Amino acid sequence: MADDTLNDVLIDRLRSFLSKPNENLDGIRSAAARLHSRCASQVKYRSPALSQLTSLNATQLIIKLLMQLSGKESQISDMLLYELVWIIAQLSQKDSKFSVKVRLTGSARTFHNILRLHYNNPKLLYPLLIVFKSLSRNVTTSTVLVKDGIVSTMEKVIVSIGYSPSPKLRLSLNVMHSLTRSKLCCTKMAKEDFVPLLLRIFERWERYNGKMRLRILTYTIITLKHLSNTKIGRKAIKSSNGLNLLYKFCVLCPNDRTYDSLLPRVASIIGTCMDKKVLPIDTTGPVLFSLPVLKTENSDTSDNTTGSGMRTSSSRETTPSADGSVAESFDNNDDDDDDASDKTQESDAGHGPYAIPPPILRDMDDLCQYAAFFQENVVTSNQEARTFEEKCIPRAKSYQEFGTHGCDSLGEHRDYWLINDRDGLRSDSYLGSCHLQHQEPSNDENSFWQKEVERRLNNYMRTVRSHSSCSCYDVYKREMTWKASSDPAMNSNLQNSLHMMGLTILSDIPKHSSVHYAYCAIASKVNTVYPVVKVAYPDMVGGDGSGQLYPLHIKDRKVCRAKLMTSVERAVHPHLLLDRVVYDLDGLIQQDAIAKGNDSGEKHLYNIDERRVGHRDLLKHHLLFESRFESGNLRKVVQIGLHEYELILLPDVNSVKHHQWFYFEVSNMEANVTYTFNIVNCEKQNSQFNYGMKPIMYSVIEAKEGRPGWVRAGSDICYYRNNYQNLHGRSRSWYLTTSFSMTFPHDNDVCYIAYHFPYPYSLLMTQIWKWSLSVDPSLIYFRTDCLCYSLNNNETPLLTITSPDMESNRIKDREVVFLTARVHPGESNASWVMHGTIQYLLSNAPAAIMVRNKFVFKIVPMLNMEGVINGCHRCGLSDEDLNRRWSRPNQYLHPVIYHSKGLIEYCARIMNKAPFMFCDYHGHSRRKNVFLYGCCNAGSWNQVDRSNSDDPVDYLMLPYLMQHFSKAFNLQACNFRVERMREATARVTIWREFGVKRSYTMESSFCGCDQGFYQGYHLDTIHLKEIGANFCEAMACLKDEGGWKADITPEEAARLAGLTSKEQLDESPPMSEISDNSDFSSDEDFH
């Protein structure tokens, strides 16, 4: 008889006995024995037999037989019970719905009763433990079992088994480790003296051998970890001498890689059970910022009040709307914790399962205020230009007045803006040897993309060569000459195309000033919440990296083990620490406030680091620290050893969390001495510091000797949980430590250490000043405006870049591209990528000319300048993630988001021209490489979106082109999902509300690359700027959209749509799966 037929017959026979099982015990035993034999037979028959039995509903059948035969009136033999329990044990491992079926049949207590009666039966115990292993993994059934007294039963089971290593002991501990996920179970274990029994098993760990030792240890430690999460459990562990046993394990733990996962867990239990240890700082920040008081329907005052005794920075007025009214009431309930923020957005997404909140459209008259930022569309003559300027903007300075002397920001790096070949870092000549070697497609599905990209790249290269043959500018000069001859007043009009008076912070800087002077003058005008006493030397001189390729750090597990053990030692023996405070920002702020009194004079910032080097403070025998400069972040430093320091970071302004970004100065060091820095209040559960990332360091002496630039530095880098409790996190959560060691190359140097390459607000404004002086307005239309003022009265720069207006190519007919960056202030790499984009757009490269000729670029290079200025990581002054405010921004609390969105809304509704593309630049703290997030209907959470088809070419072409131009780009990491929790982000809001098909977030790693040309290396500033240039080159290939879309056949489009939905969407993990808090990141998500 065939195997499948035999299984059917046996199941049918058992089903026929179900009505009167006590009268057919022999028949049931015979059928059960046959089934047990088949389930436990050779491996090649076992899996198919179990799968077939599951499909035949054998699980429910055997459960019902057991329930009936286990009744009080039934007299089931041990042999029959053995057969049935073994069948259930086998099925429980194969049937994914086993626990649900047990719950629906109400048989959990039946199994518990069988275990209670037969716990000392060695033959029945093993299959019963397999059953309970499956049941304990389900929250509902485990709760039922705990309430039914499973804890006391399992205690009897373990006592009967003994402490010798065995599969039964392993299974018993496995069951307990699953059950203790319930706090109720932990409470019962502590009350019933189960903890001493568990510790006796743990104490004998050295007597176990091989894999059995590792498994028993793992289950025991995880069970103890669950117990330590309850107050009664911690008390039971301490009263049973558990801390000493755990500490002894840490000391004697074998130096083997297989035990590396156990040591952090044991250290975590010790830290949890010790007396609560908190950071030696106030729970709030040293300075609070008063937010605008908003009137709502329910109250006349804001809930944002300052604490008593705290110094408060004044709030400034923001740019009002046309009618002077508040656009909407501010929702104080939004939480900046990433998980909570996501839940808030999900609840805001609508009441129904497929509801999307309707967009809040602004009044048309209100939107007309943005006409001043699109003046390039209406200026057609010199007279109109003068009239428009008088009405809408301040008087502009001419190009000759600014001059071009000393401005060589493009000239110094002219050869950098090249199309990179695949064999070197850059080509030797752009115009003479433009070429690109294409990467081979990974599979046949990419054939369409290979052909399409190759065709468009060839067209692109032909255009480049044609421009090269006529010296790149002939096309423009020819038309400019024609227009000048027809309109003699045109030259004056061209010279006035640069409107820098929109940024008053740049208005009084002399044109021949040095970059150092310009930077200090700009920084002195910046309004800060925290007091600043200087400008940072690296930012003053340009802030670039060294340009070298630094390999990723190789983690040394022995070093990490040693640091973890040191952390345990210090928790157990805190008196061994030196504990000397060497830097205290809170105290310095109070001293500064007393010293200044009511002095409100202008500040004049400068830097004298070059004069400081070589001098030592003989009265101080420790390192000296400073962070009171723009973007600096360091709150307190405690010396705990001769050359070891604990560092505490500032939270975001008006917040008590978001600790990741650090930037500080160190001096008074000795050369060739290893100093250890432990940043002890990090919050993310994991970090790229565990996967190859190094911090960066800048030496003033190295810069003076002709070797300027940030370098990747540090050794013995690791990231682990410490013993400081996070009072503002989830219940019983702890901070984590970023630990690294540095050896400084010079005595008495002045060095700066940072999380990533800083790009402060003053550096951006200095770069805008330099670009404004170097641009030739006869070839490039470049205008800078102040979009609005921030909460603390700092200007928000808006850049407009395109080609000058021409008779054959009018500006008003060109597509508009919106680019934004730095909505999260800690993502400084986004600013460096944006720097590369702007610098390339202002260059003479043929691709730059092509995109300027096709597009009008509206760029907001820094969306969250207040966070950047004050050294924040995630939020601005309102303690909100501004990338969760795009759907409903508040005019007064989120002015930059409000007016940036207003620009796009003006473009879409007043000009009737939806942007061709929107891209928001971000940095990512948990992934490597560079990649894009986009939007597509097929990947949306909303059923209405999924019912509407879209053209995958619209949003996939740019990522495919980026893969060919950028060596750091990873196409496989791109994601086009539209998740409900991301509805309020810039990318999704612009896509949904304004119909922008190419709405992207471009993510670049803080760390480096694990694929492609830069595999195994960090990304430097030159590489980040290169990515920004590559983005423009890819856009240059998008300009002939009508032609290449018409060439796509229906078959290719269908295959492309299938590729998108199947490979890109199903196989790519949603952002929520990689979010660790989700600074995600981003993080557009929470990087």
Cα gap 1054→270, rounded to integer Å: 58
d(CA 925, CA 685): 12
3-class secondary structure, 802: strand
For the chain, what is the largest distance between any 2 Cα atoms, rounded to a whole number of angstroms? Answer: 113
Q: What are phi and psi of 181, to 5 degrees?
A: -65, -20
- Using CA atoms, how far residue 939 sits from 930, 944, 946, 955, 996, in Å, is 21, 11, 7, 12, 16
Q: What is the DSSP string of 731-762?
A: TTEEEEEEEEEEE-SSTT-EEEEESS----HH
d(CA 172, CA 174): 5
User: For the chain, how far is it from start to end, CA to CA, in angstroms?
Assistant: 61
Cβ pair 53, 39 in contact under 8 A: yes
How far apart, in whole angstroms, are the C-alpha atoms of residue 979 and residue 221? 37
What DSSP designation does 806 have? B
How many angstroms separate the CA atoms of 99 and 46, rounded? 21
Q: Residue 948 in 3-state DSSP?
A: coil
In the β-sheet with 781-789, what is the strand arrangement from edge to edge?
Answer: 781-789, 795-802, 855-860, 815-821, 917-924, 999-1005, 930-933
Q: Which residue has the tokens 């471009």?
A: 1002
Collapsed DSSP state (helix, strand, coil) of residue 37 = helix
Could you give the 3-state DSSP secondary structure of residue 246? Answer: helix
Q: In angstroms, rounded to a whole number, what is the distance separating the alpha carbons of residues 760 and 867?
A: 10
Euclidean distance between CA atoms 114 and 102, whole angstroms: 14
Q: In 598-699, which residue ranges form alpha helices assigned H by DSSP?
A: 609-612
**Phi/psi at 488 (5° precision):** -60, -25
| 211 and 166 Cβ atoms separated by less than 8 Å | no
Residue listed under structure tokens 């044991």: 266
- Classified as helix, coil or strand, 697 is strand
CA-CA distance, 810 to 26, in Å (whole number)? Answer: 95
Evaluate whether 452 touches 467 at the Cβ level (below 8 Å).
no
> Residue 162, Cβ neighbours under 10 Å: how many?
11
Integer-rounded Cα Rg, in Å, for the chain is 34
Cβ(342)–Cβ(1072) below 8 Å: yes
Q: Which amino acid is at 943?
A: Q
Task: Report the length, in residues, of the chain.
Answer: 1087
b/e sequence 144-160, b meaning 16+ C-beta within 10 Å: bbbeeebbebbbebbee
1083 prior amide bond cis, ω within 30: yes
Angle at Cα 612 formed by Cα 606 and Cα 617, nearest 5°?
125
Pairing relationship of beta strands 580-584 and 733-743 according to DSSP bridges: unpaired
3-class DSSP string for 42-66 = CHHHHHHHHHHHHHCCHHHHHHHHH
Burial track 1061-1075 (b if 16+ CB lie within 10 A, e otherwise): beebbeebebbbebb
Q: Which of the residues 1003, 1026, 1033, 1084 is marked catalytic?
A: 1003
Instruction: Please give the torsion angle defined by the CA atoms of residues 607, 613, 618 and 621, in that order, rounded to the nearest 10 degrees.
Output: 90
1041 is catalytic: no
By the 8 A CB rule, do 331 and 878 touch?
no
Active site residues: 1003
